[in-house]
Every structure is written in structure tokens, then in C-alpha cells.
Amino acid sequence: MPITLCVLLWPTAGDADMLTAYEDDVLALVPVHGGRVVSRVRALPGQDASLPTEVQVIEMPDDDALAAYLADPARVALADVRDRAVARTDIVRVSAVPHRDRPS
């Protein structure tokens, strides 16, 4: 069954650019496992530092594809970079909320 993830990321202090570079590398692997990055946004400077710096919405075909992505040797090889760049990651399984037009 397809799954959709909302991924919230916080960098280690002063390493927002390293977080972005790391995510550039690992998100390139998502399509290899049948998934797609639906959206990837970054917080504008000057906002509350307790908020995530980057938010992604990722679709994967199923839990097996997600597990294969997480275990991908190219992704695992970057674990040391991730440990230096990413202070916190929250992953929430989500589903789309259908848009309903409001009566005028």
C-alpha cells in the first residue's frame, strides 16, 4: 500500500547548508526505490529556531520500498555526514486531505 511521509529536519548548530547538501544526496535515491519527492521546502531565515529548517513530503510505493531506501548502501555510507549535519528528524505518516470548494 502506498505511503506518504512528512519529514521535518533540524540542522546541527550552524550546519544548515550541510543538511541541505546531505538531503540533496539522499533524496536523489528515492526514485531508485520507486518513490518520489512531492515537495521540499526550507524555512526562511529569521524565524523561530525551534521550527524545522526543512520539510519534505515523500511518497513511497510501500513499506518494503521505504525499508530498501533506508538501507540503501549509498545512503548508509553517508551516515557520518548525517550525524554531523542533522540534529533532529521527525517523520510523520500522512494522507492527503481532499480539497472541498466552499459554497460562495
Domain ranges of the chain: 3-94
To which H or E segment does residue 61 belong?
none
Between these two residues, 66 and 101, which has the higher pLDDT value? 66
Rounded to an integer, the average pLDDT of 8-14 is: 94
The sign of the dihedral angle between the CA atoms of 27, 91, 10, 81 is negative
3-94: CATH class: alpha beta
pLDDT of residue 14: 84
Compute the mean pLDDT over every residue in the chain, rounded to the nearest whole number.
95
Backbone angles phi, psi at 51, to 5 degrees: -85, 155
Query: Three-class SS of residue 96?
Result: coil
Burial of 93 (0-12, 13-18, 19+ CB in 10 A): exposed
Task: Give pTM, 2 decimals.
Answer: 0.90
Contact 43, 52 (CB under 8 A): yes
Q: What is the pLDDT of residues 78-96, one digit of tens each?
A: 999 999 999 999 999 999 8
Percent of the chain whose predicted confidence (pLDDT) is above 90: 85
